[in-house]
Structure 1
Amino acid sequence: MAITMTKSAATQVAAFIANRGKGLGLRLGVKTSGCSGMAYILEFVDQLNDDDLIFDTDGVNIIVDKKSLVYLDGTELDFIQEGLDEGFQFNNPNVDDECGCGESFNV
């Protein structure tokens, strides 16, 4: 089981943590939400939970709880810039369907 980041995503996360001045990494998780059933969660982590797993890319940690890993295993986090738009993109091989707005998914 693994979660990875592209170089672009790792660079961006490291910059966010540096600007923030603290943090162990970035939490990637899922929650029940949206019209397709699940939505991604991204948040900074200052303290680990007992069920957290850590995946390191270029010295930057993605932290995932065991329940979310079932839905996220194999996911690659990318950071893309297209014109004036920029943001994180989730390349999740477990997704069966996404809603039209791209805010939620199901597996």
Structure 2
Amino acid sequence: MATQLTGIGTKKAPSTTEAPIVVPKDRLALTERAAQKIGQLAEREGKPGQLLRVGIQGGGCSGLSYVFSFTPGPDGHDKVFEGYGQKIVVDPKSLRFLGGSVLEWQESLMKSGFVVKNPSEVKSCSCGESFSV
């Protein structure tokens, strides 16, 4: 069943086929698989219960790149979004570029990691590490 995530929880969509997750431009969502990996990685790094900070920074061949780190809690004007029992934190500047995005976890034979499905991306490099809006 497809799930639409909001900034404060989850809502089951009445569909038996996988549908794309639709996220409002002022929010960030995560998939169930991403939430599971956040919990596993926090535990492995000795930071259980911490939130995943998702942000952007200048760099990479396309101009911007995603950054991920664990944090004990939000700072000042950060926005906190929750889904599947995990919380992610985004600063207001990054949210301008990330709004409407879905954080996923993908695994392949070559690599595994978080992938941001960003509707604002107009270009990304071939390695997938940087993007432009």
TM-score > 0.5 by shorter chain: yes
Q: CA deviation at 1:101?
A: 2.2
Aligned partner of 1:106 in structure 2 is 132
What letter matches 1:7 in structure 2? E
2:96, 2:49 → 1: CA distance?
A: 25
5+ residue gaps, structure 1, are none
Give the strand-richer structure, 1 or 2: 1
Equivalent of residue 8 in structure 1, options 28, 33, 46: 33
Tell me if 1:94 matches 2:120.
Answer: yes
Q: CA deviation at 1:23?
A: 4.2
2:110, 2:63 → 1: CA distance?
A: 29
Q: CA deviation at 1:84?
A: 5.5
Aligned partner of 2:19 in structure 1 is none
Tell me if 1:48 matches 2:74.
Answer: yes
Aligned partner of 2:8 in structure 1 is none
2:42, 2:132 → 1: CA distance?
A: 30
Give the helix-richer structure, 1 or 2: 1
- Check conservation: 2:39, 2:48, Cα contact below 8 A: no
Give a deviation string over 1:60-103, Cα, whole Å, max 9, x none: 00100000000000111111122363211110000010122222
Paired residues, what number? 107
2:108, 2:56 → 1: CA distance?
A: 25
Q: CA deviation at 1:24?
A: 2.8
The structure that has the greater radius of gyration is 2
RMSD over aligned CA atoms reads: 1.4
What letter matches 2:111 in structure 1? D
Matched residues, percent identical?
34
1:103, 1:21 → 2: CA distance?
A: 25
5+ residue gaps, structure 2, are 1-25
- Check conservation: 1:6, 1:77, Cα contact below 8 A: yes
Equivalent of residue 72 in structure 1, options 75, 98, 106: 98
- Check conservation: 2:28, 2:99, Cα contact below 8 A: yes
More displaced stretch, 34-43 vs 20-29 = 20-29
Q: CA deviation at 1:15?
A: 1.3
